[in-house]
Chain A
């Protein structure tokens, strides 16, 4: 048993060493370019929304809603995954990644019905982000509160 374990360890190391890795340089470049383009587009939207007279806070919410809408639409049309295959973190990190993570399972689980399908599975990918994001904000809030108390 011990020998088998050692053999497996050796094999695992060999496999990991020979496995072709994703090309970091190209991935970084595409993530930077496409992610950057999304940010430029968002900034453009913000300028547009404030230009037509929205208050800055409202305009910011409008930008986010627009990006979420476009992502959901592209996801539904089957185009988002094609872009994301190239863009990687470029589409994943902005709000677009989160929107896609909700739209994709919603479309996917439609066949299992509105309740047990779409309703239950819509947060299958985004769920952990929401849960631990909320939890982290609570922890952050407590720390902030204590620091404020001490710092006066």
Chain B
């Protein structure tokens, strides 16, 4: 056996995953080759370190008791016999004791990130769902709530107090606002990517301005709100129309320009309202 071959199967040998014959060859090689034998010793040493590892923080039984009592306080209604049994069963059968809480949280964040990225990619191809924020009037959602965007379907007029299409923004803009706002234009982007990025920037700006306008709602009189609604509804129609054309001809600079100009007009109107 050559050293390269030995080293490539060293970990498998250490883990006891090799066949008998391969095991024997490895053992014979270690007798003849001091360098590979040293590698094996290092691997064994690493393994012992891992096996001997204990968390440096000792969690005292009192702490567990306190955590347990808090959990019970938070879920009094759920502590029924049947549910307890179910939970115990789930804990014992589905728990993964080797995965720490931080690792779980990290996995969840990675999964969310991947999902958001995927959805963002897919979203551009389809007509994005339209969201609107609640009515500018004081009867709407509490002013201190920072995010009052609420998803509605296109043409949903059932909620009388909502602005119709006037203050619609695309939902994608909300989730990606902070990301896109700070992203610099990278050289080498394809036209499609650049257009998507430009659109996301406008959407992020519109979402941000819309929230600001909403916070100023009490200062706007009814005729102003009405004019704002009409203006924004008209611009939204332009955006929708031009967006359809861009979807059909994504690399047509003129179509792209019309669409972005429509977004720009919406930003201008909202900025004007913010400045009042």
Q: Bound pair: A and B?
A: no
Chain A residues engaging chain B, CB cutoff 8 angstroms: none
Chain B residues engaging chain A, CB cutoff 8 angstroms: none
